[in-house]
Amino acid sequence: MPKEIIDQKTIKSIIINLKDARQRTLELVDGLDQQQIIGPQLDIVNPLLWEIGHTAYFHELWTLRHLDGAESFLENADELYDSINIAHEDRWNLPLLPLEETKTYMQQVLDAEINRLKRGDVTAQDIYLTRYAVFHEDMHTEAYTYSRRTLDYPAPAFANNVLNDKTYDAGALDGDVKIEGGEFLLGAPEDNSSDTEFCFDNEKWQHPVTIKPFHIARAATTYQQYTEFVNDGGYSNQRYWNDEGWDWLQNNNIKTPNGWKKDSDGNWLIKYFDQWQNMRLHAAVIHINWYEANAYCRWAGRRLPTEAEWELAASGTPSDINKKRSYPWGDESPTENHVNMNSRAMRTIDVGALPEGDSAFGCRQMLGNVWEWTADTFNPYPGFVADMYQDYSQPLFGQTKVLRGGAWTTRSRMIRNTWRNYYGPERNDVFAGFRTCAL
C-alpha cells in the first residue's frame, strides 16, 4: 500500500460518514425494550444487541487493531463479536453487555477511529479500511431494518425521513427498451483501483462478456403487475415454478407473498413493519424472493435479466456500451432527485418517479427502491482474489443469487453500477424485487 498522505477533504468526508452510519445504527435500536433487542432465535435475523456490538467490533478490528496493533476496549471482544468464529445459533446465549454498556463500547471505538484520522498522517490504506468498516455498518443497518419488519417491531424513525413526498406518486412506467448488446466489459475497471477508491473483491475486475441483443423493462415490476400473477393462481400452479422453488413453496406452506393478506372486502393489504397498509399499486413490489420472481417471469412469458445485461442497461451508453457510467445517470453522486435510498421514503415508491435517475437507455430506478434479482448465481469473476476480509464473498459463491441496484433503505454512498449483492434464492424477507426481460 502506498504511504502518500490523504487530503483533509477526504478525511472530513470519512468522519462524517462514520458519524452518520453510527447515528443510523442507534436510531434502529431506539425505542426497543430489553426483550426486543434480543428477540427470538431465527435463522434470518441476529439478536440486535449482538449485531450493533459486532459492527463496532468490525471497526475496531480493522482500523485500530489491524492498522495500529491497538488493544481492544473489551477483553473478550473476539469471544463476543467475531462473526466468523461464533455460530449464528450461539449468538443468543453469549454474555452480551447491557445496551448502555454496548453503546459505551461503540462510542469508545468511534472516538478512537476519528482521533486516528485526525492525526495528520493518514494513508490510503487507512481510508480504504475505514471506508470498508463504514460500508459494513451500512449493510448491517439495512439488515436491522428488515429485521424490525420480520419481528413485527414498529417502523424506525430516521432524521432524514420525508414520508409523503408527492414526487414519489408518479404512477406506472410500462414498456421495454431495446439494447443491441455486443462485447461488454463486466465489473469494476482496474483504473479505479487506487487504495482510496473503493470496490469489493467480488467486483474485481472488468472482463469481456458477449451479450446478445435484448429488451429489458424500463422499470421494476409493480405491485399491480405482481397481483395479477397472484390472483391468477400463481402460487398454486406448479408449471410456473422450478423444482427448488416448488419445494420451497410446499415445504413452507406459502400461499401468498411475504406480508400480503386480504381485508374483509377482498382487497390486498401489505405488511409495513408492525402495521397493515393499503397496497400502493404502482410502487415496486418488494419482499419477493428469487423463486417467486422466476415464477412470475414464467407466468408472464418473460425472464430475469442476466447480471451482465443488468449492468449494461445501467451503465452503458447507446453510442458505446463500454463507455461506462458510475451511476445510471452519469458520474454525479446520487441525490434524492436520482434515487429512493437512505430510507428517506421508508418504502418503495412508484416506478414512474425520479426520471433524473434514468440510465442512458431509459431504464428508471436501477439504483434504489428495490434490490433487483438477476438470473445468475453469485460466482467469482476471472482471476478472483479475496480482499483482506476473506469471508465477505467466498463462502457465498455458488450458493446465492446476484442482486443489483440497492433498495430504499440502502445507503447511497456505497452503491454504484458494478456493486453486487447476494442472497439465497429463498430469502423473501429482504428488500428485493425485480425487473424483467423479454424472451
- Taking the C-alpha atoms of residue 26 and residue 17, their distance in angstroms, rounded to an integer, is 14
Strand extents, DSSP E, 138-264: 176-179, 182-186, 207-211, 214-217, 260-262
Residue type, 355: P
Query: Taking the CB of residue 7, how many other CB atoms lie within 10 A of it?
Result: 11
Let me know: does 328 contact 417? Beta carbons within 8 Å. yes
DSSP H or E segment with residue 372: strand 371-377
The whole-number mean pLDDT for each consecutive block of 10 residues of the chain, a chain of 439 residues, reads 71 97 98 97 97 98 95 98 96 97 98 94 92 97 97 96 93 98 96 69 97 98 98 98 98 98 97 98 98 98 98 97 97 97 98 98 98 98 93 95 98 96 98 98
Report helix, strand and coil shares of the chain as percent, to nearest 5.
35, 15, 50
CA distances from 172 to 13, 113, 308, 341, 355 (A): 37, 45, 26, 19, 12
Q: How far is residue 181's CA from residue 328's CA, in Å, rounded to a whole number?
A: 17
Extract the C-alpha cell encoding 236. Answer: 398454486
Tell me the domains of the chain and their CATH numbers: 8-150 (1.20.120.450), 166-221+295-438 (3.90.1580.10)
pLDDT score, position 2: 44
pTM (global) more than 0.85? yes
**How far is it, in rounded angstroms, from Cα 95 to Cα 92?**
9
Q: How far apart are CA 133 and CA 193, in angstroms?
A: 18
Predicted local confidence at residue 7, as pLDDT: 87
Q: What is the pLDDT of residue 1?
A: 41
Specify the pLDDT at position 196. 53
How many Å is the maximal CA-CA distance in the chain?
67
